[in-house]
Amino acid sequence: MFSATGTKGRHYLVCLVVAVIMLWTLVLVSCPQLYLAISDSLNWRLGTPSALQARLETTLRAIHLRGDSLIGDQSTLLFGDSHLHSLPTSLLEGAVVNYAIGGETAEHLAERVTQYKSLDRVRQVVLLSGRNDLRYGKSPQAIAISMGSVLGRIPAMSRVAIVGIPPMRHADAAEGATRATNHLLARLCADRAGCVFVDTQNLADSSGALRADFAMADGFI
């Protein structure tokens, strides 16, 4: 009698698990946005880039390289993450080419810049990267190493501006890592002739959070 009851209980549990899995499968299939949101959230927590992010980086890199040979020597190149990716180049003077990719890490940027031949001839480069590395759990030192590799790819004759990682809308424990990273980036820039570090700490309020008048819905500039 006990054995039969135990078997029925296990059978019920298996059926319940299968039903829940099937229900979630139906929900995710009928609502791709929910699936993508859950997938991205898990990837952030696990410290691994999502398939969508990898596809975005691959696609945009291919598009960039398709016209890279046409970039003139008086151009300014922008490399970085969404902080620069969302910046309209029409706001800037001269010929500006935006090669930033939203969601990209400094580690991936260090790999990507080796493929851009235009870096050998342009007059100046603007860099802003590192926030996504911090979100993946990378240390300030690791980010500085990646950005050092990026700088190493840029010819000494080119002027460089490294923009500090802006504060987040809601100050938390990550703000200390942001400050530490910016300190290392400033030192990295100081060691290179023709490099200017742009401090973004003045965008923060008294609590260290990004000021409301500079914030957008996602908490970044």
Most confident of 24-33, 91-100, 163-172, 206-215: 91-100
| Confidence grade of residue 15 (pLDDT, cut at 50, 70, 90) | confident
**Per CATH, the architecture of 69-214 is what?**
3-Layer(aba) Sandwich (3.40)
Q: pTM for this structure?
A: 0.76
| Cα dihedral across residues 182, 186, 188, 192: positive or negative | positive
Pick from 109, 107, 119, 189: which is nearest to 153 by CA?
A: 119
Q: Which of 90, 83, 126, 124 is nearest to 105 (CA)?
A: 83
More confident residue, 168 or 4: 168
Confidence of residue 221 (pLDDT cuts 50, 70, 90): very low
pLDDT digits (tens, 9 = 90+) for 159-185: 999 999 998 877 666 788 999 999 999
101-117 pLDDT tens trace? 999 999 999 999 999 99
Is pLDDT at 194 greater than 90 in this prediction?
yes
Q: Domain extents for the chain?
A: 69-214
